[in-house]
């Protein structure tokens, strides 16, 4: 599949952790302003692949990464690259929400403050904009100074998304980011991803095929550390070319 002007371009990526070869010869181009789902059985390397996009693997012991990941034409594995600059481009949403132990307002204002924004009116505007972007504003506008921990888990996850968006990323990475949520909260987050792709490139790890079907434009199927197949969502789910993909998606009924 040819992607014009990829936002993320992975070239000959191999990841070893200790003696284990976790990701094998990964080559992939990810388009911008789309939702891409990474699917595959547990342990196949989905999270590792996602982490390679923002150099989160640097924190793993005994890890060896070779190959290149280009983002906006910049190789993030170039030793001269500044990691903070790379990470600023990405918002990461993990399996469970981890709001900071502070108010709803301060959670969203946290990143902008670190980046030097001090003026109250400016912070107010950012907080309102991002809480609106994550469909939380109406639910929390009257209690912005109350603790984030009082929100429901689904609301906390949207708050974490708002906190990430407040620093102006271009890419949103989600690792099974609805797995702790009830069906209604899950569907709110899924709708957000679909809306947010107008402005962001969104890469999601999910093991729920229906979720991949609902939200994504493209699907990457990973098996034992390799990309088996990558294509449009409909093609992967309805007309997979590879036997391994056929086996994996056959439980999925359209
Ligand atoms: N920090 C680590 N140390 C050792 N092995 C790891 C580590 N992280 C992941 N792995 C191994 O790498 C493989 C892929 O893991 P992961 O990317 O988390 O898979 P997935 O997200 O698809 O379930 C698994 O075999 C896992 O045990
Ligand atoms: Mg995982």
Residue among 235, 21, 90, 6 at smallest CA distance from 221 = 235
C-alpha of residue 112 to centroid of ligand 2, in Å: 29
**Average confidence (pLDDT) over 123-131:** 98
Query: Is residue 215 situated within a structural domain?
Result: no
* Contact criterion met (CB below 8 Å) for 166 and 124: no
Judge if the beta carbon of residue 47 lies within 6 A of ligand 1.
yes
pLDDT of residue 253: 56
Reduce the DSSP state of residue 154 to 3 states and report it: helix
Q: What is the pLDDT of residues 151-194, one digit of tens each?
A: 999 999 999 999 999 999 999 999 999 999 999 999 999 999 99
Domain of residue 157 covers: 99-168
Residue among 149, 154, 120, 109 at smallest CA distance from 136 = 154
pLDDT of residue 3: 77
Query: Is residue 107 situated within a structural domain?
Result: yes
Query: Is residue 124 situated within a structural domain?
Result: yes
pLDDT of residue 31: 95
Q: How many CA atoms lie within 13 A of 33 on its CB side?
A: 4
pTM of the model: 0.95
Q: Work out which ligand 1 atom sits closest to the CA atom of 49.
A: 17
**Average confidence (pLDDT) over 195-217:** 96
Query: Is residue 163 situated within a structural domain?
Result: yes
The more confidently predicted of residues 83 and 97 is 97
Q: Does 90 score more than 90 pLDDT?
A: yes
Q: 93 pairs with which residues across the strands?
A: 174
The span from the CA of 62 to the CA of 206, in Å, is 26
Q: If residue 87 lies in a helix (H) or strand (E), which one and from where to where?
A: helix 83-88
Query: Is residue 138 situated within a structural domain?
Result: yes
The span from the CA of 200 to the CA of 33, in Å, is 5
For atom 14 of ligand 1, the residue with the nearest CA is 45
Residue among 187, 227, 221, 226 at smallest CA distance from 205 = 221
Query: Is residue 155 situated within a structural domain?
Result: yes
Judge if the beta carbon of residue 46 lies within 6 A of ligand 1.
yes
Query: Is residue 126 situated within a structural domain?
Result: yes
In the chain, the number of structural domains is: 1
Query: Is residue 140 situated within a structural domain?
Result: yes
C-alpha of residue 49 to centroid of ligand 2, in Å: 9
């Amino acid at each position: 599949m040819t992607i014009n002007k990829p936002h993320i371009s992975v070239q000959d990526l191999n990841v070893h952790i200790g003696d284990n070869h976790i990701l094998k010869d990964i080559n992939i181009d990810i388009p911008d302003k789309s939702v891409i789902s990474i699917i595959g059985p547990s342990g196949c390397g989905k999270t590792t692949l996602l982490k390679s996009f923002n150099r989160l693997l640097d924190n793993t012991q005994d890890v060896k990464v070779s190959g290149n990941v280009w983002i906006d034409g910049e190789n993030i594995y170039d030793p001269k690259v500044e990691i903070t600059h790379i990470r600023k481009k990405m918002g990461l949403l993990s399996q469970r929400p981890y709001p900071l132990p502070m108010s709803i307002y301060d959670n969203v204002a946290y990143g902008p403050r670190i980046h030097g924004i001090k003026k109250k009116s400016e912070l107010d505007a950012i907080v309102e904009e991002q809480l609106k972007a994550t469909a939380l504003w109406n639910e929390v506008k009257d209690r912005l100074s109350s603790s984030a921990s009082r929100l429901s888990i689904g609301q906390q996850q949207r708050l974490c998304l708002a906190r990430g968006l407040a620093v102006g990323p271009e890419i949103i990475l989600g690792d099974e980011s609805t797995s702790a949520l009830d069906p209604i909260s899950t569907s709110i987050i899924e709708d957000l991803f679909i809306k947010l792709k107008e402005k962001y490139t969104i890469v999601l790890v999910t093991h729920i095929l229906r979720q991949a079907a609902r939200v994504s434009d493209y699907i990457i199927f990973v098996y034992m550390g390799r990309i088996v197949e990558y294509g449009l969502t409909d093609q992967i789910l309805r007309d997979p070319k590879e036997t391994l993909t056929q086996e994996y998606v056959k439980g999925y009924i359209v």
